[in-house]
Every structure is written in structure tokens, then in C-alpha cells.
Amino acid sequence: MRKLKALWAIIWRASLILAIIAGGLFALRILLPLILPLMFGSAKDHGNTARAQNTAYNLKNAISAYFTEYRKYPLEIRKADLTTTTGHPLLTILVGNNDPAAMTYNPGKIAFFSGKAARLKDGRYTRGIEYNEDGPSYLWDSWGNLYHVRLDTNHDNQIDDPEFPGQLLSHSILVWSAGPDGNFSTWDDNVKTW
């Protein structure tokens, strides 16, 4: 009788342990698909943001180098500060290819900006330069959008703050990206050089 009791106790404990393990596995099965994208998704976004930040600063340096070379900004208009994107013609000028715009504004055909070629995914370019030897070239951010650029082309050493319009920044070159959400008006995720 005592033996039978002991046996039941063992069976009871074993089934309890099995139930706990099964429950744990079941919970993991449900929770893992929810947790993993959060962990790796945010790590991926962090990498993309860091990459966009790097590229924005490199572009700022490229425009600075252009200024040093030609003593003016690309596409300079003296009346007001210029706001443009890293599409054509700004980027075409900065890569210094055979496009007529590049030939006009960068007659020395100096490659002020160079970097990784953009990746084409699902019909959309991301993360790099869409380079055309004889035509318009573009610089895409980590999420497939062009960067925005504002230059102190009226040379008063001030630029209107894109984030807080009406406030002036003591900068000569601003570069910013819309961030992971692709929306320039949401600034919490935007990547900027100031």
C-alpha cells in the first residue's frame, strides 16, 4: 500500500512538471513571435538610423568641400537660403558626372560625394547612391526617401530651423532625413545634422 502511495506521488509530481514545461513552451510559442520582432526590429532600426546619420554628415562635408573648391554653394541663389533634396540636380552636381547640370555647376567633375550604391528592393532604392554616369543621380536614405538639405545661400550665417520655423540656427548647411516613418513632419524619429 505504501509502495502504491509513493508511486502515485511520483506520477503526480512528474505530471505536474510536464504540465509546467508544456505550459512554458505554449507561452513561449505565443510570446516569442511578439517579442523577437521588437528586439531585432529595434536593433535594425537603430542600425538604419546610425547609417542615415553618418550619410547625412558625409553629405554635409561634401557640400562644405564643394564650397571650399568653388567659393559658393551648389545651385546658389543669393536672394534667400536654398531648400532642396538629395535628388537631381544637387546630388548630380556633387557626384560630378557627365550630366549637363553637373558639368555647369561642377566643371572640374570632382566627386565631392561618393559612397555605397543604393540597393533596389521591391522597385524602390534605399541606403545609398543611385548613380547614373550621364544623367540625374540620387541619394536615398535607409528607408527609401531623399534627404532634405538647406543651405545658407544668402550668406548671413543663419538658417531657418526646419523643425521650429521662425527660429534661426547659426549653421550654413543642414541635412535631415524623415526617419523610419518616412514623414518629414514627425521630428521625433527624424535624423538631422544639427
**Residues at the interface with Ca ion (CB under 5 A):** 81, 152, 154, 156, 158, 178-179, 181, 183, 186, 189-190
**Which residue's CB is nearer to Ca ion, number 55 or number 97?**
55
**Which residue's CB is nearer to Ca ion, number 88 or number 148?**
148
Give me the count of residues in the chain: 194
Cβ at position 179, least distance to Ca ion in Å: 4
Cβ at position 181, least distance to Ca ion in Å: 5
Sign of torsion over alpha carbons 80, 53, 106, 144: negative
**Which residue's CB is nearer to Ca ion, number 97 or number 172?**
172
Cell numbers describing residue 157? 550665417
Helix residue ranges, H only, the chain: 2-70, 90-95, 100-105
Residue among 192, 101, 179, 103 nearest 150 (CA): 192
Cβ at position 156, least distance to Ca ion in Å: 4
Cβ at position 44, least distance to Ca ion in Å: 17
What is the CA angle 38-40-46, rounded to 5? 100
**Which residue's CB is nearer to Ca ion, number 73 or number 131?**
73
